[in-house]
Amino acid sequence: AQSVTQPDIHITVSEGASLELRCNYSYGATPYLFWYVQSPGQGLQLLLKYFSGDTLVQGIKGFEAEFKRSQSSFNLRKPSVHWSDAAEYFCAGGYNKLIFGAGTRLAVHP
Amino acid sequence: DGGITQSPKYLFRKEGQNVTLSCEQNLNHDAMYWYRQDPGQGLRLIYYSQIVNDFQKGDIAEGYSVSREKKESFPLTVTSAQKNPTAFYLCASSTPREAFFGQGTRLTVV
């Protein structure tokens, strides 16, 4: 069955520290892959997406993600986290319908 | 401005009543989706539609119904058969390469 897994439910980092949020997918072939961010009570905002080509994808707000076929992963990274990055992050994948992971809630300590 | 509009933002209903959540888009997208969000469970797909007058069940369709009579509109009815309807509901529309989300409707059934 198609699935997207985010192993970490909560992550806490200090402001200025680096960040990596994990995402693994299970599909017959490489799906389209996305990272979204959600602030409390709001809809989802697209951070970045991968379809094909360069496996390192740049997104908004200084985020990037690397697609690794051998690991079926699409991890999100940011070199230096800001307090405003505290939110919930969702990885998603799919072809004709989007399937979401359970989300990772990021807390940022000053 | 193009986008997706969900209304209302907050909705309260008594147990046993059906309630319909509105979702309208002016992005000219063929595909539309309804997701349910509960804490710690990410976004779960309720129904999706890839063309007018056609829709498919997602992973948790029981107790819900939809219609797609117009390209712009994809209303979701939460019926009295839905055992635990209190949740945050998100509507989305998409091209093959990107999904756009509304701001969500928080439904509380008392």
Mutate to test the interface with B, among A42, A45, A97 (most CBs of B within 10 A): A97
Residue A76 pLDDT: 98
- Could you read off the pLDDT of A33-68 as tens digits, one per residue? 999 999 887 888 999 999 888 899 999 999 999 999
Residue A53's SS3 state is: coil
In this complex, is the C-beta atom of A96 within 8 Å of any C-beta atom belonging to chain B?
yes
Which chain B positions have a beta carbon within 8 Å of A45's beta carbon? 101
**Residue A99 pLDDT > 90:** no
The owner of tokens 């309804």 is: B34
The residue with tokens 């072939």 is A29
Beta carbons of B38 and B89 less than 8 angstroms apart: no
Tokens of B45: 């797909």
pLDDT at site B1: 59
Identify whether the C-beta of residue A23 lies closer than 8 Å to the C-beta of residue A75. Answer: yes
Amino acid B34: pLDDT: 96
Give residue-wise pLDDT tens across range B45-84: 999 999 999 999 998 999 999 999 999 999 999 998 898 9
Question: Does the distance separating the beta carbons of A96 and B42 come in below 8 Å?
Answer: no
Confidence of residue A74 (pLDDT cuts 50, 70, 90): very high
Classify residue A30 by its DSSP letter: P
